[in-house]
Amino acid sequence: MKTQEAATGFNSTNIADHPLTFAFHFFSFSIKMPFPEPFLDRMKSDMGQEFPDFLNALEQPAPVSIRLNPAKGLVAFSNAEPIPWHPDGHYLPERPVFTLDPRFHAGGYYVQEASSMLIHEALRQTVGLGQDLKVLDLCAAPGGKSTLLVSALGRAGFLLSNEVIQNRVGPLKMNLEKWGHANVAVSNHDPEDFEKLAGFFDVVLVDAPCSGEGLFRKDEDAARHWSAASVELCSARQRRILTAGLELVQEGGILIYSTCTFNQQENGDNVEWLASQGFEFVKLDLPETWGVTEQKWGYQCYPHRVQGEGFFFAVLRKTGGSQAIKLKNNPPKDWQRFPEKQLSIFEGWLSQPSDFAFFTKPDDAIVAVPLVLADSFFTVGASLKRRSLGLEIGELKKNDLVPSHTLALANELHPDLPKADLSKDQALHFLKKENLWETDWQRGWTLASFEGLPIGWMKVLDNRSNNYLPTNWRIRMDL
């Protein structure tokens, strides 16, 4: 069980990640559900006099929290309470239907559980923000922590966002595309497939699959399927993932381990084991007012102390072992460098096209790779088979660029591109992939936007407009 975050991937098999189920879950959260007796017995023993408060918190509706995308510049949610450990995090007074908010589809914000945003503070205190770092999110779907990481990096660093389960890669990629950063690669590999990247990363985040005890009030299935045997199984799986992950951290680098559970076997025991594998535990300075509980081997969020879910995390620094590997400087063999004499075609589409190297893939798709990070992209490309590299630009049709949806959401877009500022009703109909028309829109490729945020492309013609929103991105619910 992963910490639950809002995913935009409509093909996800995890119903809790589907935005169309938000309204259902909001009402189900308030229904008092039975918790496993062995879990309650253990927590009563662990928490002592605090147990009644803990249990009462589990029986309350879960807080609703979002994190704004600083690169999009959204100014919204004026009635929201700030989350103290993240500058862009906010609690909402009630849960809206996010599917019916065009700003959500534009990547203006991410729906993320508040406790898990503490990863931002762990980064700030250990490696700093906006740094030239190579970062790996090893168990990334649906993408909440990856979007947090890349915002913390800004344009300076490189993020590889990996997901093992194939049908969760699509939602992960969609969420990262909405976030709009060009310095991200996505991969679909088991942690044990990363041996060629040993010592490559400055930071590795392992947000490990777990027994999900911290999500019982949000997810009835987590409570229903919990057992002492599942805790043992999860602990062993986590140890296997960590065994592979620790080799990927370069000497002096940081490994962040997190779960959404409470028990010692999955949390403290695994961190103590890491401390015996060439890592040292890093203590953080967290204000008492935040309510986070410091433990011997990490930090635990309890729902009666923190306005959030049951999240555990620990930070460790590598004291020896893997040295940084030599970077590759050649693109994938099946990529063709875009002809230099045609590079002018990208002027007017990107704000700084000179910051990128452009390539054509075998399927004729054009991708752009940030020049300052090209070696990191190419090293990953040479080391992993199932990966998606570069910012998708589009493809040429008779020497004209047909832009990709990814480009519409990119933070690198040229600010002077034509825009059609839509009303909320128009934006929602666009997001249902319906064609719109107004006579004063500029002819040609035009960004459909809402409150200044692009949500996709339209091709405006003399007597109609064509909607280029990808089918798998469209809203399926009734308006």
Q: What is the pLDDT of residues 34-71, one digit of tens each?
A: 799 999 999 999 999 999 999 999 999 999 999 999 99
Residues 297-352 pLDDT 10s = 999 999 999 999 999 999 999 998 767 788 898 999 999 999 999 999 999 999 99
Q: What angle do CA 331, 332, 335 make, to 5 degrees?
A: 90
More confident residue, 412 or 34: 412
Burial class (CB in 10 A: 0-12, 13-18, 19+), 479: exposed
Q: Which domain holds residue 357?
A: 330-415
Residues 172, 39 share a domain: yes
Residues 226, 144 share a domain: yes
Burial class (CB in 10 A: 0-12, 13-18, 19+), 280: exposed
**pLDDT given at position 33:** 58
The pTM of this model reads 0.92
Q: CA–CA separation, 281 vs 134, rounded Å?
A: 21
Helices (H), 266-347: 268-274
Q: Which sign does the torsion angle of CA 407, 409, 415, 421 carry?
A: positive
Among 142, 204, 153, 209, residue whose Cα is nearest residue 178: 142
Q: CA–CA separation, 68 vs 76, rounded Å?
A: 9
Question: How high is the mean pLDDT of the chain?
Answer: 92
Helices (H), 63-112: 102-105
**pLDDT given at position 320:** 84
For residue 344, the domain's CATH number is 3.10.450.720
Q: Are 320 and 335 in contact (CB under 8 A)?
A: no
How many DSSP H helices and E strands does the chain contain? Answer: 13, 23
CA 279 to chain centre: 26
How would residue 77 be classed by pLDDT, with cut points 50, 70 and 90? confident
For residue 160, the domain's CATH number is 3.40.50.150
How would residue 32 be classed by pLDDT, with cut points 50, 70 and 90? low
Q: Are 245 and 270 in contact (CB under 8 A)?
A: no
Residues 193, 136 share a domain: yes
**pLDDT given at position 199:** 96
Partners of 362 in the beta sheet?
none
The count of residues in the chain is 479
Question: What helix, strand, coil percent values describe the chain, rounded to 5?
Answer: 35, 25, 40
Residues 139, 54 share a domain: yes
325: in domain: no
2: in domain: no
Q: CA–CA separation, 88 vs 107, rounded Å?
A: 14
Of 292, 318, 344, the one marking the end of a domain is 318
Range 179-187 average pLDDT: 98
25: in domain: yes
3: in domain: no
Of 318, 344, 359, the one marking the end of a domain is 318
Task: Name the catalytic one among 139, 234, 260, 301.
Answer: 260
Of 367, 393, 415, the one marking the end of a domain is 415
Range 273-294 average pLDDT: 97
Among 18-22, 69-73, 145-149, name the one with the lowest average pLDDT. 18-22
Residues 372, 232 share a domain: no
Judged by phi (left if over 0) then psi (alpha if -120 to 50, else beta), residue 199 lies in left
CA 43 to chain centre: 31
Q: Residue 25 above 70 pLDDT?
A: no
Q: Residue 106 CB: number of other CB atoms within 10 A?
A: 26
SS3 35: coil
301 is catalytic: no
Q: Which sign does the torsion angle of CA 52, 53, 58, 60 carry?
A: positive
Q: Give how many domains the chain has, as a whole number.
A: 3
Long-range contacts of 101-104 (CB under 8 A, 24+ apart): 102/422, 102/424, 102/427, 102/428, 102/431, 102/450, 102/451, 102/453, 102/455, 103/74, 103/76, 103/450, 103/451, 103/453, 104/6, 104/8, 104/19
Residues 218, 239 share a domain: yes
8: in domain: no
Q: Residue 4 above 60 pLDDT?
A: no
Q: Residue 156 above 60 pLDDT?
A: yes
How would residue 9 be classed by pLDDT, with cut points 50, 70 and 90? very low
Pairing of strands 81-82, 366-370: unpaired
Residues 109, 198 share a domain: yes
How would residue 264 be classed by pLDDT, with cut points 50, 70 and 90? very high
Residue 390: phi and psi, rounded to 5, are 85, 160
9: in domain: no
Q: Are 107 and 66 in contact (CB under 8 A)?
A: no
Residues 437, 396 share a domain: no
Among 398, 389, 385, 327, residue whose Cα is nearest residue 359: 389
Q: CA–CA separation, 261 vs 441, rounded Å?
A: 52
In angstroms, the first-to-last Cα distance of the chain is: 32
